[in-house]
Amino acid sequence: MRTPLAWHNLTSSFAKCALAATGVGFAVVLMFMQIGFRNALIDNNVQIFSLFDTRVANLTMLSRARYNISTEQRFERNLLEQAAALPGVQQVCVVSVERGTAQVQVAGHTPRPIRVIGVELHAPHFFADPNLFQDLQTADAQQAALVDTRSKPGFGFAGAPTGLKKQAIELNGKSLPVTGQFQLGTDFGNDGTLLLSERLHADYFPWRNASGHPSDVVDIGLIQASSQNTEELDLLAARIAALAPRQIDVARTDTFIVREKNFWASNTPIGKIFLIGTIMGLVVGAIICYQIQFTDISDHMPELATLKAMGYGPAYFWSLVLCQSFYLACLGFIPGLVVSLGLYHLLATSSGLVMAMTWDRILLVWILTMVMCVASGILAIRKLFHTDPASLF
């Protein structure tokens, strides 16, 4: 059985092969981490929608002044009630979010700002997880809340429900029992989250509406439409928005999610910084690969020049460098992926950020790795084409 020349060249020295794999693997880890941080920034800012079944809550109403989900601009509740009366609308659900004025204190710890989400409990089918609805309903019966398991440790929340029930916890100076947990995740603006009923939420934030009851204003209005057809949903959204075109913005929920992600990716410096970091990882990897392949070609120049003198044409050497680039990409990508998975898990556990290793991101980094290795190989092989075999003998 013949060993491919490209594989033989790459593995002729174990030390050089290990060094090459380490160099490519380092670039792979660097790209995965930059992409992971960038997507954590983008994904975590729409993580609140993961609490709900977007096939049910297929339309969303926001204040037109709310240019992203984290800003605190609200609209009148009666607009959502008017929408509920329109043909094609089955049910609506109010979601209240308070961040700027919410302070939680666990006994023995200093007060810290926290995000507090309140959800109406009359429509269980809006929840993505039926168990979450049941847990929240049970907590509400005790005038209590649930805490996000991914909240930062600095809050002092116990790690298990039994421990939480024993803790003395205050929200804005008022006692708030915490009887259970749910999973959401932090982001770059929120270190933790409490979840409670919309009714209880109003009791802890009476100042939400300066001119009336705190429940008379809404942060996010979820709407269940009768149809799942995209065109019909867009038409219904336009009819609802026409109720108060200067005050509210209504669109399909998945449209809002895409819009929010695009905002953080394109309109914030952090999104651009991580994009540049990914590009820098690609450049660093390309330089490493070039040095590896250039050194390998230089070391094997007499053998390659002999093949050239024997009549092997450019096509053979192009196939050689492409094969070697593929092997190099595989040797570096697989351990780089394994290390990145471990780092993703470590960071998700320690920070609360949602670091998701999805197939599309794996495919993206694999393509970038192949481009990096092939481009560096093409640059390195030029030395062979400019070498006269006679000058080596």
Q: Angle 151-252-68 (CA atoms, 0-180°, nearest 5)? A: 45
Q: Which tokens is 34 given?
A: 């930059």
Q: pLDDT of the chain along its 393 residues, tens only?
A: 344 766 776 667 777 778 888 888 988 998 899 888 888 878 888 889 999 999 999 999 999 988 878 788 899 999 999 999 999 999 999 999 998 889 999 998 999 999 999 999 998 999 999 999 999 999 999 999 999 998 988 899 988 888 988 889 999 999 999 999 999 988 777 889 999 999 999 999 988 887 788 889 999 999 999 989 999 999 999 999 999 989 999 999 999 999 988 888 887 787 778 888 888 888 888 888 888 777 777 777 777 777 777 777 777 778 888 888 888 888 899 999 999 999 999 988 877 777 888 999 999 999 999 988 888 888 877 766 666 555 545
d(CA 291, CA 286): 9
* Nearest-angstrom CA–CA distance, 196 and 15: 58
Asked if 361 and 39 touch (Cβ cutoff 8 Å), the reply is yes
CA dist., res. 375 & res. 70, Å (int): 42
Q: How far apart are CA 42 and CA 264, in angstroms?
A: 6
pTM of the complete model: 0.80
DSSP 268: S
Number of H helices, E strands in the chain: 12, 14
Token readout for 177 is 């029992």
Please spell the DSSP secondary structure of 286-350, one letter per residue.
Answer: HHHHHHHHHHHHHHTHHHHHHHHHTT--HHHHHHHHHHHHHHHHHHHHHHHHHHHHHHHHHHHHH
Distance, in Å, from the CA atom of 355 to the CA atom of 371, rounded to the nearest integer, reads 25
**Dihedral sign, Cα of residue 128, residue 130, residue 136, residue 141:** positive
Residue 137 confidence (pLDDT): 94
Q: Is 152 exposed, middle or buried (0-12, 13-18, 19+ CB in 10 A)?
A: middle
User: Looking at residue 2, what is its pLDDT?
Assistant: 45
Exposed (0-12), middle (13-18) or buried (19+): which is 163, by Cβ within 10 Å?
exposed
As a whole number of angstroms, the distance between CA 67 and CA 49 comes to 16
pLDDT of residue 282: 81
pLDDT of residue 390: 53
Strand order, beta sheet including 89-98:
178-182, 145-148, 193-197, 115-119, 89-98, 220-225, 59-63, 248-252
Distance (Å, whole) CA 59 – CA 223: 5
> What count of Cα atoms within 13 Å lies in the side-chain half-sphere of residue 84?
11
CA 267, 271, 273, 278 dihedral sign is negative
